[in-house]
Structure 1
Amino acid sequence: MTLARHALRVALGVFLVAAGVLHLTSLRTEFQAQVPSWFPVDADLVVVVSGVVEIALGLALLLAPARLRRLTGLVVAVFFVAVFPGNVAQYVEGTSAFGLDTDGARLTRLFFQPVLVLAALWACGWFGPKRAELGRTAR
């Protein structure tokens, strides 16, 4: 794994663990605002469950052995896709959270979710040289 991929994987892992902890602590109310009003599950339950999932995914990015990294990246990418409707709802409903208090800021944020999906996949080896081409890095 290249240094850039490793650094991005670690950064994403730390980001997810931190976000998960914030879901459960000081920014819980802010994250509740992200849950679409039409979603049929209690917003606090969604925030708690997604926080726990983010912590688990972040730890997986940080600690998964090389043989499981591609799977880990795929699961993280799917998670980023799964939470995207919350970002769309924040824009459509005009909900302010995390300093995103204008439609322009909320719209701009939508374009970063695909970047996170691609970053998770790339950092975990989905694009670029295959393992054999990398000289069989650590397993």
Structure 2
Amino acid sequence: MPRSEHSPLLLAGLLASAGVAHFAAPRSFDATIPRALPGTPRTWTYASGVVELALAAGVAVPRTRRAAALATAAFFVGVFPANVQMAVDWRHRPAPLKAAALARLPLQVPLVLWARGVAKNQKGLS
């Protein structure tokens, strides 16, 4: 979890990169959408990309950073089922791919903590 004064901008960059990726290569994200969700996977892929771009913009701006960082933490919790779906679906893939899918699961914890830390550091600012 980055601790420098630039960590909000790093978080915004991570969110923006992920958001753009949802539009640049949607097929890989479609496969992670839990089948229990209504609608098409592509709709959820694009919607989550839009949310990531909006969160990136909010985290990048000091005036909206605290609220956006808290929303980002909630978003990271909310997309956890997609990571579980990916781990389940990839359980029979080659070992490196299976390991990557499994590694995504605990990665959510530091991402949530990072976003909460960004929000905490914004208390009383702006």
TM-score by length of 1: 0.77
Larger radius of gyration: 1
2:41 is the alignment partner of 1:46: no
**CA RMSD of the aligned region, Å?**
2.5
CA change 1:88–1:126 in 2 (3 A) is farther
| Aligned equivalent of 2:81, options 65, 70, 85 | 85
- CA deviations over 1:68-92 (Å, ceiling 9, x no partner): 4322211110011111100001111
Any unmatched runs of 5+ in structure 1? 132-137
Which AA in structure 2 matches 1:80? F
Shift of 1:60: 0.5
Any unmatched runs of 5+ in structure 2? none
CA change 1:72–1:5 in 2 (3 A) is farther
CA change 1:34–1:125 in 2 (3 A) is same
Question: Which contiguous aligned blocks of 4+ residues in structure 1 show a shift greater than 6 angstroms?
Answer: none
Number of residues of Structure 1 aligned to a counterpart in Structure 2 = 123
| Aligned equivalent of 2:66, options 63, 70, 82 | 70
Percent identical: 33
2:113 is the alignment partner of 1:118: yes
1:5/1:124 contact within 8 Å kept = no
TM-score by length of 2: 0.84
